[in-house]
Each structure stands twice: as structure tokens, then as C-alpha cells.
Structure 1
Amino acid sequence: MADNLLVETRDLVVEFGQKRSFLGRAPQPLRVLKGVNVGIGRGEIVGIVGESGSGKTTLGRSLLGLQAATGGQVLFDGKPLADFPGGEIALRRQMQMIFQDPMSSLNPRQTIATILSKPILLHGIAPDKASALARIAEVLDRVGLPQAVLTRYPHELSGGQRQRVGIARAVMLRPSFVLADEIVSGQDVSTQARVLQLLRELCAEIGLSMAFISHDLSVIRALCHRVYVLNGGVVVEEGECEKVFANPQHAYTRALIDAIPLPVVSQDWLETTAA
């Protein structure tokens, strides 16, 4: 686990609801995470992989405080989320999320200018709308979007443009930590590469820490420094990406790699494919 951790979980347990057995026995909670320990260092990109139902999305939501823990703790900068100085508003500025489906997370009745300016004004990053729009212009240029998108509504943009708006919104507040959940799933290879390269550059430039959730091991290998492999709500393996993928120690990790063979990629794969 990395030194100088920004986000970490300690023996994290999450349970959902109650399920009653077919024979009518006493209902038992469904335990989704079973004592999970993960850590994300400052400026580090960490992958979280596993099959559907492994608990990776629940873990991601828990890291942001969007899912209450049944047991254990989630800490940000060494403090439990519940005790974060400044409360919920301060925490939301420091921790942001990029969604898999940007269309569902963008208000269809608002222009992109309104969607991006509201958080800036709410958190006091800009004193007025003119200053907010100047900040937005800088970020749009950085994520490769033209200023013309500001007057448009989400449905008027392409899927790739909406994804970049989602990234812009996440980094607009200058957070310390961003969670990305399956954000390149279903995209073609060149679009994936452009998004991943952009995320890598942004993390390097502004010192972002990131948790990147994916079922695609090739994406994790290309982007992340370290990886956690989740199976049945338990971390079965973790370590540096190259070491884990080159010499997996757990049978489940080996099965994942065997099911979807990892291509041998050059170190500059993202740069050349994204160009």
C-alpha cells in the first residue's frame, strides 16, 4: 500500500437490506463488502477491478461517503469522513465523481454553461458569473472542448463531448480525489485512449488522486499505478499493476486474465492511440 495516503478504508463492511430464506428462517443482511482495506496515495491512480457483483461500485460509493458503512471506516486525509472539517460541503469540493453515463448526470434543462458554473459559484471558487466563465473557459480548453458547447444542452452534444463535460465538471472545483466508475465502457479504442490520456495528464498536472473502477484489465494496466482485485466483497490481490498482471498470485486474478487475455502494449500506447 502506498505511503502518504489520501483516501483509505479500514476493515470496511457494507450490508444491504434483509433477505429471507426460502424456508422462512430469520432474515439476514446481504454483506456486499467484507472487511475491505484499500489505500490511495496522493497523486496516485489506483484501479479497482472485479466481475459484476464483486462489490467494486459499492466500494467506490463508500470512498466518497455516498454509501454508509456498516462497519469499519473510510478516512480522507487521515480523518473519518463524518469528522471532515467543514462538513459535507467541504468534503464534496475535495471529492468528485466522473459518471459512466454522463447524460444521466447532466441536467437536460440546463445549458453546459449553467451546469459548470453553478458548482464554482456555490463553493466560492469564483466571486461572480464572469469570473466563473473565465475559469470554465480554461478548463474547457484543457479537456479539448470548444467554447461553443457552453450555449448547448447535453442532448446536443456527442457522447464523447458529454464525457469531457463530465470530466471538466469533476476537476472544475480543483478536488484532491476523483472516482471514475466504468467511464470508458462501451467506447471505441481511440476514444478510450483520448479519455485515459486526458485523465493521466490532469492527475499529473494538478496532483489528483484517482480511483478508477473497471472490468477491463487492459484499461487498468494502461492507466493505473496499482490495482486492487475484488471478488465477492473481498480484496483477493493488490499491488503494482505490472507485477500483478505479469505474475498474479491469486487464482481469481489468474482467471480474470485468462478470460480476457491482456495485449502486450508499448509504454506510449495511450499517447500514440489518442493522437
Structure 2
Amino acid sequence: MSEPLLSATGIKVTYGAGARLFGGRKPGNTVLHGVDVEIAAGETIGIVGESGSGKTTLGRALLRLVDVEDGRIRFDGRDITDLADAEMRPLRRRMQMIFQDPMASLNPRHSIGRILTEPLMLHGLAGTREEARSQAAAMLQRVSLPAELLQRSPHELSGGQRQRIGIARAALLKPDFVLADEIVSGLDVSTQAQVLNLLKDLSREMGLAMAFISHDLSVIRAVCDRVYVLQFGRIVEHGPCAAVFDEPKSAYTRTLLDAIPLPEIDPGWLDREPGEAA
């Protein structure tokens, strides 16, 4: 069996630990307790759990945005757990994140054109500003936005448009892995479906591996191949979505399912051809 594209083994993350002012050490708050996760190339996994379960911390640990106290993280066959920032920099293009709040991740002082073209120039994916702008315009079209938005600022866009800009920015860098953290939680149901369909199409076209963090179990069931259920920083259950949701083995998973009913998913949602309108 081939090695996963991205894997975490025995991951422990503690916040707030350190030396006290007058001697001794503060114990800190352990958020992840020996978590194991793996993602194959082209696979989409879901990470679910209540608020405070450690979902976002796990996602950021996978991207090496937070330091781990114990455990190992491997990406494309390489141990990246202890890589310095300079060593991680070439890998950043291949490991992208789409944030929950696009307004917090898009510089309000920059135009959409600058937001999309600067990463292309930084990572050497465009030789000139004109080439970068052409790539950005093509990607806007791919995410069903007009090229005219390159002239706009983030505050002039709707929430759904801003989230599509976040997706476009990640996709432009041709990553291998994308972490999507609660990216549809602030959108209306119709816009949620459009954004999720777009992500599914891009994942299929680009062969992306994705980790989808969400508290919405219907979203996880609709877009993910496998799911990991987190409780108090520990994996209490994992497996194919159908198996976990239809026959949960953990009492905690059953509680989540009872508390957040799963609406019926329109089968056409998952069977659409790439690029077909939502």
C-alpha cells in the first residue's frame, strides 16, 4: 500500500506551557493528545467535533502552523515535524489553507488582483506581473467570478464571493493538499452548496488531497471520503463516512448525530459533472 501524502502520528499540542517568572514551569493546556491522521493523494477527509474539541488546532498542526510537543508529521514521504521556517518555505505552496473568515485572511488594503498575483510571483509561478494577472483572471472565471473583480477590494464583495477568492488564491498555487476550516459556516444554504460543489470539482480536476473541518455533519457526509471524530483532543472514531454515520461505534459520535440531524442530501449534488452549474 502506498504511503499517505500527509500523515500525523501521536500528535500532541499544548498551549501556554513554559517557564514561570520566579522559577518552575507552567503546565499549559494540552489540546491534542496523541492524535493519528492520514490523508491519501486525491482523498478528502472530514474532521468533526464540538467547539473546543481541537479540530482547528489539528488542522494547523498538519500545516506546521503550530508546533507539536510530541509526535511526527510526514508530507510526501518527508518528515516535516522539526523543519525550520526556511526549510518549510518551499513546501508552503504545496500545502494551502482556506480560512473560515475570508475578510480576516484577505488584506483589506489590497485589490483582489494584488491578493491573487503576489503569491504567484512569490512562488515563481509567473514570470511577469502580466502573466500573473492573466492566470488570476482565468482562475476567477474558473470559480465563476468575473475578471472585473481584480480591480475591486475585499469589502466590495459578498461573503460568497470572498470565499471564492480564498479558494482561487489557494488553487492558483497548484497545491497537493488543501485544508478547509469551516469555510461555509457563515454562508446561506444556497451559497454553501455552490462553494462545496466548486471545491469538489477543483479537487477532482487537480487531484487534491483535502481536509475539511466542519461542525456540520451533513457537509462532511456530502463532500468527504472518510471522517475523523474528535472529542477533547482525541480521535474517538474514524472510518468511511457512510460507515461512521450509518453505524457509529462511539457514544460520542451517536450524540453528535442525535444533536445535529443529517438532512437528506440531493443525490444530484454529488453526481454532477465537473463545471456543471449548481
Scaled by the length of structure 1, the TM-score of the pair is: 0.93
Residues 168 and 63 from structure 1, CA distance in 2 versus in 1: closer, same or farther, beyond 3 angstroms? same
Corresponding position: 1:257 with 2:223: no
User: In 2, distance between residues paired with 1:149 and 1:67?
Assistant: 33
> Which residue of structure 1 lines up, in the alignment, with residue 31 of structure 2?
32
CA displacement at 1:193 relative to structure 2: 0.5
Residues 96-153 of structure 1 deviation map (CA, whole Å, 9 limit, x = unaligned): 1001110111111111111110000011101001111111122111101101100001
Give secondary structure in 2 for the equivalent of 1:13.
Answer: strand
Structure 1: 4+ residue segments shifted above 4 A? 83-86, 270-274
User: In 2, distance between residues paired with 1:185 and 1:104?
Assistant: 15
CA displacement at 1:186 relative to structure 2: 2.5
Within 5 Å, which residues of 2 pair with 1:197-236? 197-236=197-236
Task: Say if 1:196 and 1:270, in contact at 8 Å, map to a contact too.
Answer: no
Residues 9-52 of structure 1 deviation map (CA, whole Å, 9 limit, x = unaligned): 01000011149xxxxx9742211100000001100110000000
Identity of aligned residues (%): 56
CA displacement at 1:195 relative to structure 2: 0.4
User: In 2, distance between residues paired with 1:141 and 1:44?
Assistant: 25
> Which residue of structure 2 lines up, in the alignment, with residue 67 of structure 1?
66
Which residues of structure 1 form unaligned runs of 5+?
A: 20-24
Q: How many residues align?
A: 269
Within 5 Å, which residues of 2 pair with 1:1-275? 4-18=3-17, 27-81=26-80, 82-83=82-83, 87-269=87-269, 275=278
Task: Say if 1:11 and 1:36, in contact at 8 Å, map to a contact too.
Answer: yes
Give secondary structure in 2 for the equivalent of 1:65.
Answer: coil
Task: Say if 1:33 and 1:55, in contact at 8 Å, map to a contact too.
Answer: yes
Give secondary structure in 1 for the equivalent of 2:108.
Answer: coil
Task: Say if 1:8 and 1:40, in contact at 8 Å, map to a contact too.
Answer: yes
Task: Say if 1:120 and 1:132, in contact at 8 Å, map to a contact too.
Answer: yes
Task: Say if 1:112 and 1:154, in contact at 8 Å, map to a contact too.
Answer: yes
Give secondary structure in 2 for the equivalent of 1:5.
Answer: coil
Which residues of structure 2 form unaligned runs of 5+?
A: 19-23
Task: Say if 1:34 and 1:234, in contact at 8 Å, map to a contact too.
Answer: yes
Task: Say if 2:116 and 2:169, in contact at 8 Å, map to a contact too.
Answer: yes
User: In 1, distance between residues paired with 2:241 and 2:92?
Assistant: 29
CA displacement at 1:86 relative to structure 2: 7.6
Scaled by the length of structure 2, the TM-score of the pair is: 0.92
Task: Say if 1:111 and 1:153, in contact at 8 Å, map to a contact too.
Answer: yes
Task: Say if 2:16 and 2:26, in contact at 8 Å, map to a contact too.
Answer: no
Residues 130 and 143 from structure 1, CA distance in 2 versus in 1: closer, same or farther, beyond 3 angstroms? same
User: In 2, distance between residues paired with 1:226 and 1:190?
Assistant: 24
Task: Say if 2:137 and 2:150, in contact at 8 Å, map to a contact too.
Answer: no
Give secondary structure in 1 for the equivalent of 2:61.
Answer: helix
Residues 26 and 111 from structure 1, CA distance in 2 versus in 1: closer, same or farther, beyond 3 angstroms? closer
Residues 223 and 87 from structure 1, CA distance in 2 versus in 1: closer, same or farther, beyond 3 angstroms? same
CA displacement at 1:189 relative to structure 2: 1.2
> Which residue of structure 1 lines up, in the alignment, with residue 21 of structure 2?
none
CA displacement at 1:88 relative to structure 2: 2.3
CA displacement at 1:270 relative to structure 2: 5.3
Residues 238 and 84 from structure 1, CA distance in 2 versus in 1: closer, same or farther, beyond 3 angstroms? farther
* Letter of the 1:218 counterpart: S
Task: Say if 2:159 and 2:187, in contact at 8 Å, map to a contact too.
Answer: no
Residues 271 and 141 from structure 1, CA distance in 2 versus in 1: closer, same or farther, beyond 3 angstroms? farther
Residues 15 and 55 from structure 1, CA distance in 2 versus in 1: closer, same or farther, beyond 3 angstroms? same
